[in-house]
Structure 1
């Protein structure tokens, strides 16, 4: 568990901030998850930097271009009022990179871009890889399960919230695990 207010909050994109549309390359299909805009606004109101860490293996698989991913991210930025850093992993699961969650690379890069200690970051996401990336980087995490979250991921997560608003309250209270 963290103690005290975190230095930054990082969000997963698909299934956490926005409805998961597999391999989405169309900004018109971007729809915020229930309560997500208010949850991000609460972190912003607390004065903390915010970022996004997102696996986008569709690039490696040839299903999306980086330009399409960037266009979707720009739409997310427009809906949410902008994020202080975007970290995207374009690799596939077999590529062996250091950035694809649950590896720590994107969390470490986001913390560096924000000028904060990775150990004082909280990652909020919907699957075990989000929690794993936070822990691998020395930070903490809050899991917000969706119907696609596996039961063992929920069981293994230290902090679980029923919705994004509750996850942000846990993070801001310093109760993430």
Structure 2
């Protein structure tokens, strides 16, 4: 296994769903996601959710709805931006505020962490900003991110392109 202190995992399009907002009450993980999360836990890897959820600011869900969802999936903690991208906060990916908050809270060396996500222009840019290992999954927006929107994050290369979350986890653990 690579020398990894923690793995940050995006929600929509990475763990499940379509890439679009789905309320936690209705969110369904992909069939392979529970196995992927369990593999990390069995190998004593801390797992943290890392997600932009601007619908919280619109009152369509609450922070606790998401925290409860991630806790029920076995995440050690969750780092959630509730703001819209127009607010200019430092926590909305691609800004690295959520990753920096986690590093401060848990004493992490972000160069020894992995970010797994399906969007290059948010997940991969945030990971790159802190020197984390970058894994792009091809589920959710992943294929479009590589093909149609590659220009929005052209200066960054993923360390690995995975078919899905389980493929990403297996790569981390090899």
- Alignment TM-score, normalising by the size of structure 1: 0.82
2:36 to 36, 39, 50: 39
1:77 to 71, 74, 85: 71
Unaligned runs of 5+ in 1: none
- Alignment TM-score, normalising by the size of structure 2: 0.83
Match of 1:165 in 2: 166
Cα distance between partner residues in 1 of 2:46 and 2:105:
10
Cα distance between partner residues in 2 of 1:142 and 1:21:
16
Match of 1:134 in 2: 127
- Cα distance change, pair 170–21 in 1 and its aligned pair in 2 (3 A): closer
Runs of 4 or more consecutive aligned structure 1 residues displaced over 6 Å after TM superposition: none
Cα distance between partner residues in 1 of 2:31 and 2:98:
25
| RMSD of aligned residue pairs (Cα, Å) | 2.3
Matches within 5 A, 1:35-114: 35-60=32-57, 62=58, 64-65=60-61, 67=62, 69-78=63-72, 80=73, 82-114=74-106
Unaligned runs of 5+ in 2: none
Aligned residues: 165
1:166 deviates by: 1.1
Cα distance between partner residues in 2 of 1:22 and 1:163:
17
- Cα distance change, pair 165–147 in 1 and its aligned pair in 2 (3 A): closer
